[in-house]
Amino acid sequence: MSFRTIQGGAAPRSGVTKLPHDRSDLLWSGGEPTPLFLDSIDRWVDAMVADEHGGGDGPGGFVEAKITAKAAGILCGRPVAERLLERHFPECSIQWGPVEGGPVARGDVVATLRGVADDVLRLERILLNLLGRLSGIATNSTRWAEAGRTILVAATRKTEWGLLDKWAIHIGGGLTHRLDRSDALMLKENDLSAMRGEGEDVPKIIKRVVSSLEFRRSMNENAGFTVIEVRDVEQSLAAATAWDSVQSARGGDERLVLLLDNMGAVGADEVHRALTEAGLRRRCILEGSGGVVLESLGEWSQSGVDLVSSSALNRGIVPLDMSMLIGGGE
């Protein structure tokens, strides 16, 4: 496959530090999808084609069809569409208008598809579903990224199309977050409960586990970052204090992600202030999570967090409406 320049993506904005939650380099490298991403693309497009059950018979002859945007948004899905053609419809060709991540306006020709009529008709619904959904996610992610102001926005692992959702979020300007369970060393409420010793409360569990780092040896050593879920100031201070001791002893400078679960912007601000007063803020990345909505991003941007994460970037979004007409008709 060959691709034009990719536009969009979660480039750091002025005053915003790059965060380890951007795992897009594991999806795209050197102008091509990585083997990880390509494997995911192949499984998804294979399933889409299989669900058509052949698509039925159609007319012969060579035709040209134009895919047109019926609403404004951000285009996403070119690499997936090109792989679909390469893998299942090699006699068809596609010529694009916008680049991946580029803006489209209502009425813009997104792509021109050429091939045997039977193949083009079989491709119609697959392509429109694919481009519509991924472009819808990218468009929505752009809204979130712009509303975040001084903070970044990230996805969660609550996806419907797996890594395709993650790609669309990245193209829209959001952070992918973990691509799979092993992509970060993450301790959440259930993990901590399973590690509870007799008579231990949560802050003591957190301090013991972080200090010993036993969990590192039981998880993927190639994980990109470490996350601890906390629910209040006390738990946050326990985790940050233990982490600071470990990093100081090692001469390390890795930052711990504190996942502030369902604390809201006000609770997050309290954690930010407490860590700052204790001299521990530099050791931590603060991630707001739980109940985050687009309308609350202004408040979150004033809370002291580095980013927020939400499944609303990719779940329940409206696909970008597109249509395909053979012969270029109106």
Taking CA 21 as the corner, what is the angle to CA 32 and CA 192, rounded to the nearest 5 degrees?
135
Is 290 labelled a binding residue?
yes
Is 310 labelled a binding residue?
yes
Q: Is residue 176 part of a domain?
A: no
Say yes or no: 198 and 229 in one domain. yes
What CATH number did the domain enclosing 136 receive?
A: 3.90.1170.20
Query: Which of 142, 155, 150 lies closest to 302 in space, CA to CA?
Result: 150
Say yes or no: 98 and 114 in one domain. yes
Cα distance between residue 178 and residue 182, in whole Å: 8
In the chain, alpha helices (H): 35-51, 78-88, 117-147, 163-172, 189-194, 202-212, 214-217, 233-250, 264-277, 297-300
Name the domain count of the chain: 2
Q: What's the pLDDT at 196?
A: 75
Contact between residue 322 and residue 67 where contact means Cβ atoms under 8 Å apart:
yes
pTM: 0.90
Is 296 labelled a binding residue?
no
Cα distance between residue 86 and residue 253, in whole Å: 45
Contact between residue 313 and residue 141 where contact means Cβ atoms under 8 Å apart:
yes
Cα distance between residue 186 and residue 216, in whole Å: 9
Say yes or no: 132 and 198 in one domain. no
Distances (CA, A) of 27 to 40, 59, 185, 230: 10, 38, 19, 29
Say yes or no: 44 and 122 in one domain. yes
Say yes or no: 80 and 53 in one domain. yes
56's tokens: 């039925």
Cα distance between residue 33 and residue 45, in whole Å: 15
Q: Is residue 178 part of a domain?
A: no
> Which has more confidence, 5 or 26?
26
Helix (H, G, I), strand (E, B) or coil at 61: coil
Q: Is the dihedral of CA 255, 260, 265, 270 positive or negative?
A: negative
Say yes or no: 322 and 307 in one domain. no
Is 24 labelled a binding residue?
no
pLDDT at 44 over 50: yes
Contact between residue 309 and residue 148 where contact means Cβ atoms under 8 Å apart:
no
Q: Is residue 218 part of a domain?
A: yes
Is 229 labelled a binding residue?
yes
Is 269 labelled a binding residue?
no
Contact between residue 240 and residue 256 where contact means Cβ atoms under 8 Å apart:
yes
**CA-based end-to-end distance of the chain:** 31
Q: What is the pLDDT of residues 159-199, one digit of tens each?
A: 999 999 999 999 999 999 999 888 888 888 777 777 777 77
Q: What is the pLDDT of residues 12-35, one digit of tens each?
A: 444 446 799 999 999 999 999 999
Distances (CA, A) of 9 to 2, 160, 264: 19, 20, 27
Say yes or no: 301 and 208 in one domain. yes
Q: What's the pLDDT at 261?
A: 93
Q: Is residue 202 part of a domain?
A: yes
Q: What's the pLDDT at 191?
A: 76
Is 40 labelled a binding residue?
no
22's tokens: 């951007």
Contact between residue 265 and residue 299 where contact means Cβ atoms under 8 Å apart:
yes
What CATH number did the domain enclosing 212 receive?
A: 3.20.20.70
Say yes or no: 283 and 230 in one domain. yes
Is 312 labelled a binding residue?
yes
Cα distance between residue 89 and residue 49, in whole Å: 10
Q: What's the pLDDT at 17?
A: 60
Helix (H, G, I), strand (E, B) or coil at 109: strand
Contact between residue 310 and residue 280 where contact means Cβ atoms under 8 Å apart:
no
Helix (H, G, I), strand (E, B) or coil at 115: strand
Q: Is residue 3 part of a domain?
A: no
> Which has more confidence, 215 or 117?
117
Q: Is residue 141 part of a domain?
A: yes
Q: Is residue 51 part of a domain?
A: yes
Is 158 labelled a binding residue?
yes
Q: Is residue 117 part of a domain?
A: yes
User: Which domain covers residue 322, as residue numbers?
Assistant: 24-145+317-326
Query: Which of 230, 277, 234, 283 lies closest to 258 in space, CA to CA?
Result: 230
Q: What is the pLDDT of residues 220-232, one digit of tens each?
A: 555 678 899 999 9
Is 232 labelled a binding residue?
no
Helix (H, G, I), strand (E, B) or coil at 166: helix
Is 289 labelled a binding residue?
yes
Say yes or no: 301 and 241 in one domain. yes
Say yes or no: 274 and 290 in one domain. yes
Environment class of 175 (CB within 10 Å of its CB; exposed 0-12, middle 13-18, buried 19+): buried
Contact between residue 119 and residue 88 where contact means Cβ atoms under 8 Å apart:
no
Say yes or no: 193 and 289 in one domain. yes
Cross-strand bridge partners of residue 325: 66
Q: What's the pLDDT at 166?
A: 97
Q: What percent of the chain has pLDDT over 70?
A: 89
**Confidence band of 202 (pLDDT split at 50, 70, 90):** confident
Say yes or no: 255 and 300 in one domain. yes
Q: What is the pLDDT of residues 52-71, one digit of tens each?
A: 876 666 677 899 999 999 99
Is 22 labelled a binding residue?
no
